[in-house]
């Protein structure tokens, strides 16, 4: 029994449930990270339990791996899987071109690696995540700890040179220390307000040596399933 859910959770569950129906026996499935992706893991686990769905899953974070294993899903590594049939993940923002900002849960690196190793990426979200222009959500970038302040300075100079609106950066913290990602790196959040040219920004950021990856997913997502609080979905 699922207890009374908030409208936001109902929307996430509706999107996750719909996406889970795209999964068939024999598929290798990438599992995203975050609260919406957690609903997907629960929906898939229910299908495995109740319908005998046989799938192999590649999680995008230790958090998702623990949840998936705990619910009895067959978890393998990306290298064991090779390529994946589909990855289903949440997003912090998506636009009309299905470009995304991801990384609110600090898992953007594994999420991008897994999504790009998949034949298809499906995003599940509630309608609040849909934007006309990306950038109101702070753009996360994963940076290596060595030379952090030097990398941060180079990022800020690059944003100035590109005349990006809003150039404040903040180091993501967990309690009193900088957050450490699953790959042992840190997250810089870029408060840009509005990203005029997302493909160009994504490419330029990754040219800075201390930047491992950025949270812009350009031309990676194939489909967005939007859930709403009344349990309906829209794709």
Tell me which residues touch ligand 5RP (CB under 6 A): 32-37, 89-92, 102-108, 111
Q: Is 111 a catalytic residue?
A: yes
Distance set, CA 178 to CA 171, 174, 186 (Å): 7, 6, 7
Q: How far is the CB of 160 from ligand 5RP (least distance, A)?
A: 27
Minimum distance of ligand 5RP from residue 126's CB (angstroms): 8
In the complex, minimum distance from the CB of residue 26 to ligand 5RP, in angstroms, rounded to a whole number: 26
Helix (H, G, I), strand (E, B) or coil at 129: helix
Which residue in the list 50, 51, 111, 156 is annotated as catalytic?
111
Alpha carbon distance 151, 157 (integer Å): 10
In this complex, which beta carbon is closest to ligand 5RP, that of residue 31 or of residue 53? 31
DSSP string computed for 44-95: HHHHHHHH----EEEESSHHHHHHHHHTT--B--HHHH-SBSEEEE--SEE-
Q: What's the rounded Cα separation, in Å, for the pair 22 and 76?
A: 20
Query: Is 169 annotated as ligand-binding?
Result: no
Residue 8's SS3 state is: helix
34 is in an annotated binding site: yes
Judged by CB, which is closer to ligand 5RP: 127, or 150?
127
Of residues 30 and 104, the one with the C-beta less far from ligand 5RP: 104
Active site residues: 111
Which residues are documented as binding site?
33-36, 89-92, 102-105, 129
Binding-site positions for substrate: 33-36, 89-92, 102-105, 129
């Amino acid at each position: 029994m699922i207890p009374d859910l908030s409208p936001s959770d109902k929307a996430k569950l509706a999107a996750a449930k719909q996406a889970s129906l795209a999964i068939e026996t024999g598929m290798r499935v990438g599992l995203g990270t975050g609260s919406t992706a957690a609903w997907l893991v629960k929906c898939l686990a229910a299908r495995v339990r109740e319908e005998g769905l046989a799938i192999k899953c590649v999680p995008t974070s230790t958090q998702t791996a623990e949840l998936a294993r705990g619910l009895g899903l067959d978890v393998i590594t990306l290298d064991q899987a090779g390529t994946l049939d589909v990855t289903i993940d949440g997003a912090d923002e998506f636009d009309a071109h299905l470009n995304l900002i991801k990384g609110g849960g600090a898992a953007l690196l594994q999420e991008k690696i897994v999504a790009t190793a998949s034949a298809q990426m499906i995003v599940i979200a509630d309608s609040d995540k849909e934007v006309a222009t990306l950038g109101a959500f702070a753009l996360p970038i994963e940076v290596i700890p060595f030379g952090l302040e030097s990398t941060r300075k180079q990022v800020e100079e690059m944003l100035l040179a590109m005349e990006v609106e809003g150039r404040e950066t903040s180091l993501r913290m967990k309690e009193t220390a900088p957050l450490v990602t699953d790959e042992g790196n840190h997250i810089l959040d870029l408060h840009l307000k509005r990203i005029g040219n997302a493909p160009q920004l994504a490419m330029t950021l990754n040219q800075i040596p201390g930047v491992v990856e950025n949270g812009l997913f350009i031309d990676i997502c194939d489909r967005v399933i939007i859930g709403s609080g009344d349990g309906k979905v829209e794709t």
